[in-house]
Amino acid sequence: MDSITPRRRADTLLEYALFAAILIMTISGAFLYQQIARDPVLSAFTNYLMGAYLVFLALAFGQLNRLHRRRTPQSLTYAVKSTRPILGLTSVQFAIVAFVFATACVTFTWALSIAR
């Protein structure tokens, strides 16, 4: 058995955990924003919430970028490599990022429509 296999499994698990955390933070951020927008006392914390959310996204995507940079090309022996990766990501990774971004946009739009 390859000695790198447990590391690959841990990296894959961390990658999926980061994607799930991004999705959960986006949904919880939308619900928190909805509750904060209704209360005039708590509305001063909106900027702090947005700042914390953006810092979390920067850290999560930085970690994902580091994971993908460290991945060896030998792990894709059976897959056809893309000749032109999109923003340094494969097409499947780009689709996941686009899905998370679209989910965030829809969630925040929905929360803002309910809050107003």
Measured CA to CA, the distance from residue 112 to residue 62 in angstroms comes to 28
What residues does each domain of the chain span? 5-76+85-115
Task: Return phi, psi of residue 2, to 5°.
Answer: -70, 140
- Reading the chain (116 residues) residue by residue, the pLDDT tens digits are 455 677 778 888 888 999 999 999 988 888 887 888 788 887 777 888 888 888 999 999 889 888 877 766 655 555 555 556 666 777 788 888 888 888 888 888 888 788 76
37 contacts 43 by C-beta, under 8 angstroms: yes
Task: Return phi, psi of residue 90, to 5°.
Answer: -75, 170
Q: Give the H/E segment covering residue 52.
A: helix 46-70
- The pLDDT of residue 21 is 92
Measured CA to CA, the distance from residue 24 to residue 100 in angstroms comes to 10
